[in-house]
Chain A
């Protein structure tokens, strides 16, 4: 039985997916792309968005076929042992992803604001509001994401400043190293789009299920717009080479803005960005809690507590930014497998096991 507080509408799902997608990735994306692809990095973003689009199509079709979240139906689709193993792998994936983002958050705060702040305290600071929001249910998370959506829209003024005041000649010629580099860049962009795969876990909670596809596509399109904007702004402001050496090119853009009242726009931008960062981990955390509830039937509050502690511990596994980014890269590739390859493979399985699915649905409705 789903709690009433967990039902979300189409706009709420859209803002939930978008807020989960846009997090720390956008801060580093221009650097990654300039290094990997060159000034044609924006092409990799668009290609990445198309691949994510394929993932969204597969997931929504899959959810529709099983009449529930694909995650719930795993034991039916793959058989109990394999279904359980894959379920646990997916739960671990969500926990690791949340832990990595936690770690990256701590790194941003330490590099940008408080170099001497303790990792533990920063992690706890981030965790407390997250746990509080997540404990209130999916709808509250989505509503918070909607509120932060407005903040993110305001923050878009920073890349916009870059696009308007930068030198567009830096974008020319559109240099792409090689097809291999473009492909590798596209994979790396995929990390920044992670969040769309939450659709694998959510279905019964969505009101107006027919529009879940549009929510996935809409959120990805919005994220693409932001990512392309951030990339173009970085190149037009800092040229085609410099972003490759900047840890957070987007934050660097904010350092080039001065307003009559707010002299250090970078501090304001960074501060607001951190608030919006909570939405990414919130999205992962509530999905994680739901997944644990689905598979292990744990009460939400217990799984929330256990998962929060687990995420905190795991976030300390990487001891430096370089290590955290390496882990993030690996998790990003795993995420693309989870969000695109896995649903694409499950789709024919679901078609072949229509009978079993029908039986499962029947038994669910009877119970």
Chain B
């Protein structure tokens, strides 16, 4: 390459480098508020209340977290008002959790989530959470919990741990959106309560489309996770019958593996489903020393199978009564019987369909003692 050409190339590079200084959509870390958690509450007057919590990047600041709140007609409008209040530009690219108040969730949350799908800056991997009471109150309480990590991190870690153990469901923004848009499946989200000194994941919120229509406690959430075929590392304590009791009334099991099989059929033109779960469990506490006796083990397995089947059935009844097709039976029905599906009003039919579950438990081990 001639020297002249190289010089022109270098000159061109330098010239265009002038345009590449990050002038567009520039965000200097010290001058922005990185929101880690946001809450949205629908107010009775039709307006919404947005609260954002962002860490304070200033070693001299008294507070670790700054929480700002405002009311407006849209999320974007609220964010603009907050920017004027804080003097920093609040950015949503790092939001880890999106909290909705319970009353808001009951009215429908999808309109408030539009901005998350529309603006690519916002993460689709943020948790969607329903707070018992108001979302903004949860954030305010969280900020005062000084012995806990920063509110945004604290809640996302809490949700992660609880979802891993099946105590609640894992629902991120894009998963909520997918369930909302797809006929034959409804969303479920984690539910959280703010105590005075700590946050507690209290189970899951059931949705009919985008409106909260019921709730499940932690055990029922565990059952729902199993019914949905999720891989979880869950633990469950069950009250033992007299025939199995020893020094303790309860047995605690760890669900090591669960395989789901769905039997489906049409009975008199109506869909019918049987969810069969084959589970491998470890006994963690039982208060007995008979766990190496084959006959006792068989009885224990039978008890666990019956007991889990009972729990699963109760959970199914709850979600059916709420009208939340969290398992996605509608999807299976649509895939299997599309002609009939087109005739069905699935929302009306779902609570009446024959949906059953059965568990078959195999005890894998019981620790270092029999």
A interface with B by C-beta (< 8 Å):
111-117, 121, 124-125, 128, 132, 167, 169-170, 172-173, 175, 237-242, 245-246, 251-252, 255-256, 258, 264, 266
Q: With A169-B328, A169-B331 given, is the CB distance from A255 to B123 under 8 Å?
A: yes
B93: Cβ under 8 A from any A Cβ: yes
B31: Cβ under 8 A from any A Cβ: no
Complex interface: chain B residues within 8 A of A115 (CB): 25
Complex interface: chain B residues within 8 A of A173 (CB): 334-335, 338
Complex interface: chain A residues within 8 A of B177 (CB): 238, 242
Interface centre among A113, A124, A240 (most CB of B within 10 A): A240
B20 nearest in chain A by CB position:
A125
Closest Cβ–Cβ distance, residue B202 to chain A (whole Å): 26
Q: Are A169 and B332 in contact (CB under 8 A)?
A: yes
| Chain B 49-73 interface mask (CB, 8 Å, partner A; 1/0) | 0000000000000000000000000
Q: With A121-B19, A125-B16 given, is the CB distance from A239 to B120 under 8 Å?
A: no
Q: With A125-B19, A264-B93 given, is the CB distance from A238 to B178 under 8 Å?
A: yes
Closest Cβ–Cβ distance, residue B163 to chain A (whole Å): 14
Q: With A170-B331, A258-B125 given, is the CB distance from A242 to B120 under 8 Å?
A: no
Apart from A113-B25, A132-B9, A251-B120: 6 A-B pairs, beta carbons within 8 A: A128-B12, A167-B328, A172-B335, A239-B179, A255-B123, A264-B93
B182: Cβ under 8 A from any A Cβ: yes
Q: Are B125 and A255 in contact (CB under 8 A)?
A: yes
A110 nearest in chain B by CB position:
B24
Q: Which 10 A-B pairs have the closest CB atoms?
A: A239-B182, A172-B335, A242-B181, A114-B24, A241-B181, A117-B24, A173-B338, A255-B124, A239-B178, A116-B24
Pull 22 A–B residue pairs with CB atoms less than 8 Å apart, ordered by A: A111-B120, A113-B25, A117-B25, A121-B19, A124-B16, A125-B16, A128-B12, A128-B16, A169-B328, A173-B335, A237-B174, A238-B177, A239-B179, A239-B185, A242-B178, A242-B181, A252-B124, A255-B124, A255-B174, A256-B125, A256-B174, A266-B120
A124 nearest in chain B by CB position:
B16
Complex interface: chain B residues within 8 A of A255 (CB): 120, 123-125, 174
A171 nearest in chain B by CB position:
B335
A116 nearest in chain B by CB position:
B24
A251 nearest in chain B by CB position:
B120
Q: How far is the CA of A266 from the CA of B338 in the complex (A)?
A: 35
B interface with A by C-beta (< 8 Å):
9, 12, 16, 19-20, 24-25, 93, 117, 120, 123-125, 172, 174, 177-179, 181-183, 185, 328, 331-332, 334-335, 338
Q: How far is the CA of A358 from the CA of B331 in the complex (A)?
A: 64
Complex interface: chain B residues within 8 A of A245 (CB): 117, 181
Interface centre among B120, B125, B185 (most CB of A within 10 A): B120
Interface centre among B24, B25, B93 (most CB of A within 10 A): B24
Q: Are B338 and A112 in contact (CB under 8 A)?
A: no
Q: Which of A117, A170, A175, A251 contacts B182 (CB 8 A)?
A: A170
Q: How far is the CA of A240 from the CA of B211 in the complex (A)?
A: 21
Complex interface: chain B residues within 8 A of A266 (CB): 120
Q: How far is the CA of A188 from the CA of B160 in the complex (A)?
A: 42
Q: How far is the CA of A315 from the CA of B16 in the complex (A)?
A: 20
Complex interface: chain A residues within 8 A of B25 (CB): 113-117
Complex interface: chain A residues within 8 A of B178 (CB): 237-239, 242
Q: Are B181 and A238 in contact (CB under 8 A)?
A: yes
Q: Are B181 and A169 in contact (CB under 8 A)?
A: no
Complex interface: chain A residues within 8 A of B9 (CB): 132
Q: Are A240 and B16 in contact (CB under 8 A)?
A: no
Complex interface: chain B residues within 8 A of A252 (CB): 124, 174
Complex interface: chain A residues within 8 A of B120 (CB): 111-112, 251, 255, 266
Complex interface: chain A residues within 8 A of B174 (CB): 237-238, 252, 255-256
Closest Cβ–Cβ distance, residue A214 to chain B (whole Å): 34
Complex interface: chain B residues within 8 A of A124 (CB): 16
B332 nearest in chain A by CB position:
A169
Closest Cβ–Cβ distance, residue A240 to chain B (whole Å): 6
Closest Cβ–Cβ distance, residue A314 to chain B (whole Å): 22
Q: With A172-B335, A255-B125, A264-B93 given, is the CB distance from A241 to B19 under 8 Å?
A: no
Complex interface: chain B residues within 8 A of A172 (CB): 334-335
Q: How far is the CA of A132 from the CA of B5 in the complex (A)?
A: 11
Closest Cβ–Cβ distance, residue B2 to chain A (whole Å): 13
Interface centre among A132, A169, A251, A264 (most CB of B within 10 A): A169
Complex interface: chain B residues within 8 A of A114 (CB): 24-25
Complex interface: chain B residues within 8 A of A170 (CB): 182, 331
Interface centre among B117, B172, B181 (most CB of A within 10 A): B181
Q: With A258-B125, A266-B120 given, is the CB distance from A240 to B24 under 8 Å?
A: no
Closest Cβ–Cβ distance, residue A130 to chain B (whole Å): 13
B19 nearest in chain A by CB position:
A121
Q: How far is the CA of A242 from the CA of B113 in the complex (A)?
A: 14
B183 nearest in chain A by CB position:
A241
Q: How far is the CA of A113 from the CA of B20 in the complex (A)?
A: 13
Q: Are A239 and B181 in contact (CB under 8 A)?
A: yes
Closest Cβ–Cβ distance, residue A40 to chain B (whole Å): 12
Complex interface: chain B residues within 8 A of A167 (CB): 328, 331
Complex interface: chain B residues within 8 A of A239 (CB): 178-179, 181-182, 185
Q: How far is the CA of A147 from the CA of B354 in the complex (A)?
A: 57
Complex interface: chain B residues within 8 A of A251 (CB): 120
Q: How far is the CA of A37 from the CA of B27 in the complex (A)?
A: 42
Complex interface: chain A residues within 8 A of B181 (CB): 238-239, 241-242, 245
Q: How far is the CA of A234 from the CA of B163 in the complex (A)?
A: 25
Q: How far is the CA of A241 from the CA of B174 in the complex (A)?
A: 13
